[in-house]
Structure 1
Amino acid sequence: MSGLAALCFLLLQTGACGFEILGWFFRGKSLTHEDITERAILNTTVQVCRALALAEGKDFTFPPQPFTAESVAVACGASKSSKSFCKAISLIQRKNWNVDLFRFYSSRHHFDDETFIEGRKIITEGLSAVKASNKRENFEAAREKLGNILHPLQDFYSHSNWVEMGNNLPNPNLIRAGTSIGNIAGKYNVTVCLDEIEKRNA
Structure 2
Amino acid sequence: MTSPGKGRIWEVSGKQMHWFILAYLLFLALPCMGFLPNFWSRVLTLSWDSHTHQYITERAIVNVTMETLRGTKKHQGNHAEEQTKLGRGFWRAVGEVVKSNADMDFLSSTRSNPVYHFDSERVDSAMGMLRQIWAQTLLSVRAKEYQRARHSLGQLFHSLQDFYSHSNWVEMGQRFIYLHLLQPEEPAIPVAEDTPTCMECFSHTCRNNLLPRMTNRQQDTQLLTTGYFSTFPTKPQGKCSHGGILDSSRYKGAKGGINKDSTSPFFSPHHYLHVEAANLATEATLSVLRDLRDTVGHKTFLSVKQVPALVFVMDTTGSMFEEITAARFRAHSIIQSRAGSCGQPGTFLLVPFHDPGDGPVYETDDPNQFMQHMENLMALGGGDEPEMCLSAIQVHLDLKHWSCYGLIFPQVTFLLTEDPNYTSESKRGRKRRSRRERRRRSEPLSPDRFSLYSSLSSLSGGLTIFTTNSDIRGVSTIVEDNTASDKVQQQDPLYCWTSTC
TM-score by length of 2: 0.30
SS class of match (2:168): coil
Instruction: Give 1:163 shift.
Output: 1.1
What does residue 166 of structure 1 align with?
A: 173
What does residue 106 of structure 1 align with?
A: 113
The letter for the 2-side match of 1:142 is A
Question: Of the candidates 72, 86, 90, which is equivalent to residue 83 of structure 2?
Answer: 72
- Greater alpha carbon shift after TM alignment, 128-137 vs 24-33: 24-33
CA distance in 2, matches of 1:166, 1:95: 31
Instruction: Give 1:30 shift.
Output: 0.7
The letter for the 1-side match of 2:215 is G
CA distance in 2, matches of 1:52, 1:41: 16
Q: Does 2:52 align with 1:32?
A: yes
Q: Indicate how the Cα distance of structure 1 residues 48 and 181 shifts in structure 2: closer, same or farther if over 3 A, else same.
A: farther
What does residue 90 of structure 2 align with?
A: 85
Q: Indicate how the Cα distance of structure 1 residues 124 and 62 shifts in structure 2: closer, same or farther if over 3 A, else same.
A: farther
CA distance in 2, matches of 1:100, 1:73: 30
CA distance in 1, matches of 2:103, 2:188: 26
Q: Does 2:182 align with 1:175?
A: yes
CA distance in 2, matches of 1:180, 1:107: 24
Please list every run of at least 4 consecutive aligned residues from structure 1 whose deviation after the TM superposition is greater than 6 angstroms. 188-192
CA distance in 1, matches of 2:189, 2:84: 38
What does residue 36 of structure 2 align with?
A: 20
What does residue 43 of structure 1 align with?
A: 63
Give per-residue Cα distances to partners, 1:23-52, cap 9 Å, x unaligned: 424422211111110011011112222222
Please tell me whether the aligned partners of residues 45 and 72 of structure 1 are also in contact (alpha carbons under 8 angstroms). no
CA distance in 2, matches of 1:31, 1:116: 23
CA distance in 2, matches of 1:26, 1:49: 32
SS class of match (1:100): coil
Q: Indicate how the Cα distance of structure 1 residues 159 and 87 shifts in structure 2: closer, same or farther if over 3 A, else same.
A: same
Structure with more helix by fraction = 1
Q: Does 2:94 align with 1:94?
A: no
CA distance in 2, matches of 1:179, 1:115: 19
Structure with more strand by fraction = 2
Question: Of the candidates 27, 37, 52, which is equivalent to residue 72 of structure 2?
Answer: 52
CA distance in 2, matches of 1:146, 1:168: 24
Instruction: Give 1:72 shift.
Output: 2.4
Instruction: Give 1:130 shift.
Output: 0.5
Question: Of the candidates 151, 162, 182, which is equivalent to residue 158 of structure 2?
Answer: 151
State the identity as a percent.
Answer: 28
Instruction: Give 1:109 shift.
Output: 0.5
C-alpha RMSD of matched pairs (Å): 2.9
Aligned length, in residue pairs: 165
Q: Which has the larger radius of gyration?
A: 2
Please tell me whether the aligned partners of residues 100 and 154 of structure 2 are also in contact (alpha carbons under 8 angstroms). yes
Structure 2 portions without partners, runs of 5+: 1-33, 192-213, 226-235, 239-252, 254-501
